[in-house]
């Protein structure tokens, strides 16, 4: 009996025998390098007062830092991202398990605004604690052409093509149709901004318009959608900062309102930052940094920039995402594209992209849980049957 049982086991072990062990799964691609294109953390409005008179019926809440600066709360939230990113990068072998990365293996580039410099510092302090990581940035408030490439002529800029791309993004019916589409949200935003005031308040003093592009100058949004995007972003930042709810929209805005109204911010980028004719020249100053980060000696490259930079890159690679608390495609404070260079089968270099961000409530409460990581399809260059993976050369070509 035992002999027959052993013989049966031997038969099952033969190639092709019924019940033979399935082939070993294809090993996961090795992550060789990453580039992080990140929006700065939570800041106050960039102006004081936050908006001109006539848009809100009451004074805007105070902030603990100068207009546009990263707040201490925002720095702590970014620090949590650095901790989470470090955990993953160590597991991928991009950071040493102990000690500091070797010189040249971690590259950090920041725009020259205080909020971007401070974001880079907050992230590196927790990504590589105790390590002397110096960010590449100009002196504070000295304009960096890499982050304002169109104005500095770093790439060809065709105003006619830009205007045509924007018109296509606006869609049938033009801006009047967009205003009508957003009217229910506009009414809700006005109720928050105005409270009991019935006249002389709100964002829809003028219909939406777009000033056309000119040489060296992007098209500019004005009117209802412009003011609504600004006001909605201010309310979101108030909530993300952890302000008491009586200070978020003067106590008239709920968390659900903040999330719904962020559609205005996402729409502004869909119209003016994502069309390829403006996205390619807009990202031209940062594209070489991304290329170098995916082909040079660094294992990790981080760019601390702005929501516009994230939206430009999203337009170039046709990326879409959503994180709880934000509208679809709205760049979150501290949110980033994580671009991974992979070694595929046979050593072929591939690229995979994900969008990494904290939920809005996690930013507000400084919850130390893992951030959301959204895999991003790459329809413009994906391999057949593999929508999330793109050959490196084709990905780099998308950058323009």
- What is the mean predicted confidence (pLDDT) over 114-137? 97
Q: Which pLDDT band, with edges at 50, 70 and 90, does 7 fall under?
A: very low
Q: How far apart are CA 17 and CA 1, in angstroms?
A: 21
pLDDT at 105: 98
Q: How far apart are CA 382 and CA 400, in angstroms?
A: 17
- The 10s digit of each residue's pLDDT in 219-235 is 999 999 999 999 999 99
Look at residue 347 and give its three-state secondary structure.
helix
Between residues 95 and 205, which one has the greater pLDDT? 95
Is residue 153 over pLDDT 90? yes
What average pLDDT does the structure give for the chain?
Answer: 93
- What is the mean predicted confidence (pLDDT) over 271-278? 98
pLDDT at 400: 83
Cis geometry, peptide bond prior to residue 49 (ω within 30 degrees of 0): yes
What sign does the dihedral 338-359-231-110 (CA atoms) show? negative
Q: Max CA-CA distance within the chain?
A: 95
N-term to C-term CA, the chain: 72
Question: Which residue's entry shows tokens 């929006």?
Answer: 39
Q: Token digits for 374?
A: 């959204």
Q: How far apart are CA 249 and CA 251, in angstroms?
A: 5
User: What are the residue ranges of helices labelled H in 128-223?
Assistant: 159-170, 174-181, 183-194
Task: Provide the 10 A C-beta neighbour count for residue 331.
Answer: 29
Going from the C-alpha of 121 to that of each of 95, 141, 156, 208, 252, the distances in angstroms are 17, 16, 33, 38, 35
- The 10s digit of each residue's pLDDT in 287-312 is 999 999 999 999 999 999 999 999 99
- Please check whether residue 371 is in contact with residue 361, taking contact to mean a CB–CB distance below 8 angstroms: no
Q: Token digits for 6?
A: 């052993």
The proportion of the chain whose per-residue pLDDT surpasses 70, expressed as a percent, equals 93
- Please check whether residue 327 is in contact with residue 367, taking contact to mean a CB–CB distance below 8 angstroms: no
Q: Which pLDDT band, with edges at 50, 70 and 90, does 198 fall under?
A: confident
Burial class (CB in 10 A: 0-12, 13-18, 19+), 223: middle
- The 10s digit of each residue's pLDDT in 339-356 is 999 998 788 999 999 999
pLDDT at 3: 42
- What is the mean predicted confidence (pLDDT) over 204-219? 96
Q: Which pLDDT band, with edges at 50, 70 and 90, does 200 fall under?
A: confident
**Among 113, 35, 13, CA closest to 341:** 35
- What is the mean predicted confidence (pLDDT) over 360-376? 97
- What is the mean predicted confidence (pLDDT) over 37-54? 97
φ/ψ (deg, to 5) at 184: -60, -40
Q: Which pLDDT band, with edges at 50, 70 and 90, does 177 fall under?
A: very high
Q: Token digits for 86?
A: 């470090």
pLDDT at 253: 98
Question: Which element (helix H / strand E) includes 338?
Answer: strand 336-343
**Among 205, 122, 221, 108, CA closest to 169:** 221
Q: Token digits for 322?
A: 């959503």
- Please check whether residue 286 is in contact with residue 303, taking contact to mean a CB–CB distance below 8 angstroms: yes
**Among 65, 70, 170, CA closest to 117:** 70
Is residue 50 over pLDDT 80? yes
Is residue 13 over pLDDT 50? no
Q: How far apart are CA 316 and CA 338, in angstroms?
A: 15
pLDDT at 23: 58
Question: Which residue's entry shows tokens 């799964």?
Answer: 25
Q: Token digits for 52?
A: 């001109």
φ/ψ (deg, to 5) at 17: -70, 150
pLDDT at 140: 98
- What is the mean predicted confidence (pLDDT) over 181-207? 94
Q: How many residues does the chain have?
A: 400
- What is the mean predicted confidence (pLDDT) over 113-122? 98
């Amino acid at each position: 009996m035992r002999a027959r049982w052993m013989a049966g086991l031997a038969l099952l072990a033969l190639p092709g025998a019924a019940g033979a062990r399935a082939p070993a799964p294809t090993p996961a691609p090795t992550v060789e390098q990453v580039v992080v294109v990140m929006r700065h953390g939570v800041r106050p409005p960039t102006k004081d007062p936050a908006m001109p008179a006539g848009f809100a019926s009451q004074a805007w809440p105070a902030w603990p830092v100068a207009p546009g600066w990263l707040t201490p709360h925002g720095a702590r939230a970014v620090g949590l991202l650095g901790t989470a990113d470090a955990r993953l990068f160590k597991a991928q072998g991009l950071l040493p398990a102990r000690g500091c990365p070797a010189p040249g293996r971690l590259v950090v580039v920041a725009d020259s605004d205080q909020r971007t410099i401070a974001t880079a510092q907050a992230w590196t302090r927790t990504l590589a604690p105790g390590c002397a990581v110096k960010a590449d940035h100009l002196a504070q408030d000295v304009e960096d052409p890499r982050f304002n490439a169109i104005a500095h002529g770093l790439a060809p800029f065709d105003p006619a093509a830009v205007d045509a791309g924007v018109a296509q993004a606006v869609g049938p019916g033009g801006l009047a149709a967009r205003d009508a589409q957003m009217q229910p949200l506009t009414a809700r935003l006005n109720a928050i901004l105005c409270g009991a005031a019935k006249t002389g308040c709100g964002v829809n003093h003028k219909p939406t318009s777009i000033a056309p592009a000119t040489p060296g100058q992007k098209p500019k949004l004005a009117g209802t959608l412009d003011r609504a995007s600004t006001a909605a972003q201010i309310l979101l930042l108030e909530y993300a900062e952890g302000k008491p709810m009586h200070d978020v929209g003067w106590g008239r805005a709920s968390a659900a309102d903040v999330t719904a109204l962020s559609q205005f911010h996402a729409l502004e980028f869909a119209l003016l930052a994502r069309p390829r004719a403006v996205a390619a020249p807009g990202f031209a100053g940062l594209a070489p940094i991304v290329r170098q980060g995916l082909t040079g000696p660094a294992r990790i490259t981080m760019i601390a920039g702005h929501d516009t930079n994230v939206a430009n890159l999203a337009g170039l690679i046709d990326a879409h995402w959503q994180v709880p608390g934000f509208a679809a495609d709205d760049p979150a404070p501290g949110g980033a594209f994580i671009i991974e260079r992979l070694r595929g089968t046979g050593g072929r270099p591939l690229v995979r992209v994900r969008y990494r961000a904290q939920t809005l409530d996690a930013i507000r409460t400084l919850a130390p849980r893992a951030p959301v990581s959204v895999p991003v399809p790459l329809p413009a260059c994906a391999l057949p049957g593999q929508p999330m993976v793109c050959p490196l050369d084709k990905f780099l070509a998308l950058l323009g």
